[in-house]
Structure 1
Amino acid sequence: MRLGIIFYVFLFVSTNTWSASSDLKPFDFQIESNQPSNVTQNVACGFPALETSSDFAVFAAGAYAGRKLSFQIDQSGHEATQIDVAVNSPNKPVVLMLGAYEPTVWNIGWSKNTQILAVLISGYHRQAVAGLEKNTPQLISSADNHGPCGYFYVTDSSLQKLNPMARRVFGKAVNMIFPAENGRVIIGDALQKDTKLVTSAQISPAAFYVKDAPMAGAVGLEDAVRKGILRKATQEDADLWVDSIIQNSVQQDIPPIANRTLLKPPSPRIYNAYVVLKAFTYPAGLYGAQSVTFMIPKGVPRPIGNPGHSAIYDFNTLKCEGGECGPRMPATGSVGPR
């Protein structure tokens, strides 16, 4: 089993590239024992003050997403993620290309004598940077913010975009790619047990939380249950939906159709299902395996926000929306005249 070792490091002051800023603090970064918006946007795709002819390494890092967080940093309806970045290049200055598809906070720290000249951050949804000192040039260019460089993210299927982007922005190709795993990545040389890291206290990951948004994913659902906004659905709720659909069909006074089987209304799945009790905003991240079922009783307002892949059974309209909606099984004996 891999053993994680957490290093609580101390701030060093040096006359070299180690910053003497009082805003620096120790950077806690977990390394394994077997380890071999607040930014002012540039209007152009590049770093005018950066000497592209100088000797520096271009390092790219990222993933589709980092580790999930229980909050949002944008209004995409996607759960925010975080990637902790430890930069260790004491022998050569570096520029960084960081990219993720999902909305991501990049939390950056660095080792003694490591000099970060510039950082280009990209992705599809919102990207944000914490930990860097404010005087470090950085450019965020994502699909969501219509950035001047377009967008990229660092996954195995999108690596072909990296060298053209690096040449455009930094005047040279990428020297090395460092894939992030489990929300963390080491860029440059491997960290040793005595490697000491620092980060800036000027901007923390919490600065990017969308304060008026509900907590994301399962945590947001649990929070809504505690507040009495949702309750867990029961089989009685599912049966009531079926009865309501049947009753509505009877009230429409539709005669039977010859040789056509009438379908029994689909019953909502009650596994991971909730009844909405009052005004509610869908939490972010309800996609794939994280999707759920919502039932909206008569008189309750339809929730706002993005339900993701969740199924919505609305008793006000008697309509179901979502992937699980649709016919499932014929009702026994429900056929027209022979």
Structure 2
Amino acid sequence: MFQHLPRWLPIALIVGVASGCDGSMGLFPRSSADPTEAPTASVQAPSPAGDAMQEPPVATAMTQATVATSDGATKPFAFQAPNATDAPATCSFDGLVLPAEAKLFAAGAYGGRRLDYQIDQSGSEATQIDVAVNHPDAPVVLMLGSYEPTVWNIGWSSGTRILAVLVSGYHRQVVTGLPAGVPTMVSTYDNKGACGYYYVTAEKAGTLNPVARRVFGRPIDMVFPAREGRVVIGSPLTASTALITDQSAKPPQSFRTPDSQQAGPAGLEYAVSQGLLRRASQADADAWLAARAARAVADIPPIAGGRPAGRITMHNGYVVQKAFVFPAGLYGAHSATFFVPKGVPRPTGNAGHSSVYDFNTLDCSGALCNLD
């Protein structure tokens, strides 16, 4: 019966004609199922082996991924993400409305009294400033600021009410002692805070009111410079003034950076204690200069008496003994001079302002290199 049908007629239609079905059962069959019932799943036959559009099985892709991570070509990548909550997104206290009688006080110093540990990656020792707020006559808002990394340890007298605290500085600033309900914002140079940075001294008083007006809409009522890591804000303390602080206040030591993450000189001393570095001597500098002088230099004529040996300005000298990562904060006075012996890998990371004299290449890198 098919001999009179056109050759291009689809096979499905031929089957439909052969079975005597009407057109309603052709390429778009109607479902006879109850519309309230869930449709049954259909299984699609796999494409022919030569089909170019065929997707590889999922299991194959997963196997390839497993091989790619287990063939020895990769290793875990240690990465410490920055703490996004350290920097305010906007330079404002949401919902804060200051009563007319509130006082805005500023206090601080270039730094407080020195602590024997670090709280950030600046390479500087942390400082601490103890703040006693004594102003029960009206609620207060505080602007605190220190250039150095500082722990602000806050207490207050009975009846004193602190509405908000803005803290700033160049390096990290942390606050302890305030109740959890007191809004606090920390904006520093290092955390790229939305309010920029400032610190509070008598000499820097002219920079404070623009910040105060931007954040609180009013100028500062009084500036209280801190001395020797302590400051009283408001009225002077008397023998009968009792100061309190938050029951759950963290001790300043809790902000200490772990020894393995110390920056600057402290990080270098930790590396010495772990055998990664040793202290350098003038003999190490002389050995590098001698090795470099013995190297054949192309297209330089011989000099009677020999070429000048050169000199090395060695500041905080160290010899690298094992694979080593530069600690953060090797800038200015915290920089160092490193000698890398032959066969020892060159340190990785940011050398800052440090100089690196490499016996493997007989080259020096760094701002203070003196080669000739």
Higher relative contact order (CA 8 A, sep 6+): 1
Instruction: Provide closer, same or farther for how the CA distance between residues 153 and 243 of structure 1 changes in structure 2, counting only shifts above 3 A.
Output: same
From the superposition, tell whether residues 207 and 304 of structure 1 become closer, same or farther in structure 2 (CA, over 3 Å): farther
Cα distance in 1 between the residues matched to 2:189 and 2:289: 43
Kindly state the Cα deviation for residue 173 of structure 1 after the two structures are TM-superposed: 0.9
Equivalent residue letter for 1:301: P
In structure 2, C-alpha distance between the alignment counterparts of 1:140 and 1:45, rounded to whole Å: 10
Q: In the alignment, what sits opposite 1:276?
A: 320
Post-superposition Cα deviations, 1:297-317, rounded to whole Å, max 9, x if no partner, equal 223333345545443323233
Report the Cα offset of residue 162 of structure 1: 0.9
**Which of 271, 287, 300 is matched with 1:240 structurally?**
287
Match of 2:361 in 1: 317
Once the two structures are TM-superposed, the CA of residue 232 in structure 1 deviates from its matched residue by 1.7
More helix by share: 2
Corresponding position of 2:213? 167
1:74-127 deviation line (CA, Å, top 9, x unaligned): 444554433332222233321111122333332222223222110011223332
> Among the aligned pairs, what percent are the same residue?
53
Structure 2 alignment gaps of length 5 or more = 1-82
Query: Is 1:146 aligned to 2:192, yes or no?
Result: yes
Contact 1:90 1:113 in 2 (8 A): yes
Contact 2:162 2:182 in 1 (8 A): yes
| Counterpart pick for 2:250 among 182, 193, 203 | 203
Aligned to 1:105: 151
Matched, 1:66 2:128: no
Greater fraction strand: 1
Out of 175, 190, 198, which is 1:129 matched to?
175
Preserved CA contact (<8 Å) 2:289 2:310? yes
User: Aligned partners of 2:208, 2:370: CA distance in 1, in Å?
Assistant: 43
Q: Give the C-alpha shift of residue 321 in structure 1.
A: 3.8
RMSD: 3.3
Question: Which one of 292, 298, 309 corresponds to residue 342 of structure 2?
Answer: 298
Compute the TM-score of the two structures, normalised by the length of structure 1. Answer: 0.71
Partner amino acid for 1:134?
A
Q: Is the 8 A contact 1:238 1:268 kept in 2?
A: no
Count of aligned pairs between the two proteins: 288
CA contact (8 A) 1:70 1:220 kept: no
Counterpart pick for 1:227 among 268, 274, 279? 274
| Structure having the higher Rg | 2
2-structure distance, mates of 1:113, 1:304: 55
Amino acid at match of 1:237: D
**Aligned-partner SS, 2:96:** coil
Per-residue deviation, 1:51: 2.7
Aligned to 1:18: none
Q: Distance in 2 between matches of 1:196 and 1:305?
A: 50
